[in-house]
Structure 1
């Protein structure tokens, strides 16, 4: 059994109470008055006593007979259950207990995920990536309610929409109210993600849950030497080509030009997962694809990355080695919340840059832009 460390036992005018402090004051959590038995059991829990030891403690206090043990056992169980229900005792919280429903599984690139949560969310966003039950890299658990413990830690990132904290062994995410999410805890090695959502009988926030899970995905992939680039992508000559640039530059527009002119399949409208396998760079399909709705569960060798910049004419400009690394690094959305995480991104950018074609494309929104880039790729 584990206690929520946001409670203390105090005596008020001779009466024992459990008093919340810190964030539990803001939540708010109630003060709890203890009777003699409750105070005795609380002291036992503080000493680390098991249920059987607590029962023995109570029986010794009241000199209980064998016939009275059953009633005392019921009292102990009711007391422990009450503490759990109020979030004071963490032994039987949903996070530690888990979900009794069978998990669903999906595969993204080389990674497998175990999922317990709303089936509608899975069907809408992950079903194309579903796979048979097998060993998994990350366990995803979506619960309704509040976590029993609140491991805030040091603030890493804070915006109006999101606050990310380092709690030691995990990252904690706190979302703005419109997300319909209370918070999410993700182990630093990416092996487990627990998301706590608000009651949502109409499933209005399924898309918000889906986007929140992307953060857990990014943590795991970075640990596995896989990185996500903000980019649209299309397939040409059996290789994935990524088109990247700041929002509004025309990534989707340029990819659509290739599709219209050369019937190149579109792979993703917003994000691409990259990795290096046996010295060959690959682009892996993702379910996250912005508002485009364009995604694929397949993976392909990576042909190149094109960095767009709007211009009055169409022109391909080569990049210096340092510019290639910097451009890749700046278009990543993999975590860079600490120096260590940033260096992970940098090392991958340095490894990837020499292996692929990359350039700056000054371009219009006309078909000539696709023709200009195609000529440069074909000339390789």
Structure 2
């Protein structure tokens, strides 16, 4: 059974080799006891009974129920569903057996991408148990620390980190999402196998150095944020599970601890070298 270390969580994945996305391979490990046991099960299509279940969230893509202490997540087309234990330590993904076809390249890619996306949702919940969360951001490593650039999609995260690469050859920890955990009272950031269209990620972790929120503008400027503004902005850029009050309390506590320990900035910027220099000068003064 392949074992992966992602965000300092050890995940066993029981699935056919062809169904495991290539992005996971960089995170393969032989060390540590598993925090999460994940199983991928192909089975004949069947109606999924939700008798006795409580509907806790519905979107165009899925319905989420709580049943017997577990979380049941059913896809909109009902061709896949997952069951997660209350403590997020066991996870089963059920996929219609019509997709169990390792000879069809189109199906293989759909299955890989589906499992990849499903496991990101799992990690959002599992990290909360360990003082962690996932931030929608692009992150570079600068002077052995992670500089996180949170922003909505199409705001310029990738462009900004590419400028850092071109000017200072900074490694990109992850081009789209970053895990952050409080370890021994220190915020630490991790590269993840989910990297969006940037295609950039590495299996590494470094202390968090600063958070710089990106905002498009007609001119470059940067300000340091106070605690309240930084807290609100970081909350807006995190992947959360709002239907679970216990996890929300944990997320908010972790966000509060992160913001209380690192400097946070708002960068109004153009996609040019001057914006990079503004950030670099702020980091030098920390």
TM-score by shorter chain over 0.5 = yes
Matches within 5 A, 1:65-214: 103-122=1-20, 124-132=22-30, 134-145=32-43, 146=45, 150-151=49-50, 153-177=53-77, 181-198=79-96, 199-200=98-99, 201=101, 202=104, 203-205=108-110, 206-214=112-120
Question: What's the CA shift string for 1:39-77, capped at 9, x where partnerless?
Answer: xxxxxxxxxxxxxxxxxxxxxxxxxxxxxxxxxxxxxxx
Say yes or no: does 1:219 pair with 2:118. no
- Alpha-carbon deviation of 1:337? 1.7
Determine the C-alpha separation between the residues in 2 that align with 1:321 and 1:257: 28
Give structure 2 stretches of 5+ with no counterpart. Answer: none
Taking a change above 3 Å as real, the CA distance of residues 115 and 165 of structure 1, as seen in their structure-2 partners, is same
Secondary structure at the aligned position of 1:376 is classed as helix
The residue aligned with 1:356 is 262
Secondary structure at the aligned position of 1:231 is classed as strand
Is the 8 Å Cα contact of residues 121 and 210 (structure 1) preserved in structure 2? no
Is the 8 Å Cα contact of residues 270 and 288 (structure 1) preserved in structure 2? yes
- Aligned-residue CA RMSD in angstroms? 1.8
Structure with larger Rg? 1
For residue 314 of structure 1, the aligned residue among 209, 217, 220 is 220
How does the TM-score come out when normalised to structure 2? 0.91
Determine the C-alpha separation between the residues in 2 that align with 1:319 and 1:364: 20
Taking a change above 3 Å as real, the CA distance of residues 209 and 323 of structure 1, as seen in their structure-2 partners, is same
Determine the C-alpha separation between the residues in 2 that align with 1:151 and 1:135: 33
Is the 8 Å Cα contact of residues 107 and 113 (structure 1) preserved in structure 2? yes
Is the 8 Å Cα contact of residues 21 and 113 (structure 2) preserved in structure 1? no
Greater strand fraction, Structure 1 or Structure 2:
2
How does the TM-score come out when normalised to structure 1? 0.69
Determine the C-alpha separation between the residues in 2 that align with 1:181 and 1:226: 31
Question: What's the CA shift string for 1:183-208, capped at 9, x where partnerless?
Answer: 11111201111001122212241212
Say yes or no: does 1:245 pair with 2:170. no
| Aligned length, in residue pairs | 276
Taking a change above 3 Å as real, the CA distance of residues 113 and 148 of structure 1, as seen in their structure-2 partners, is farther
Secondary structure at the aligned position of 1:291 is classed as helix
Taking a change above 3 Å as real, the CA distance of residues 147 and 171 of structure 1, as seen in their structure-2 partners, is farther
Structure of higher RCO (CA pairs closer than 8 Å, 6+ residues apart)? 2
Determine the C-alpha separation between the residues in 2 that align with 1:349 and 1:213: 22
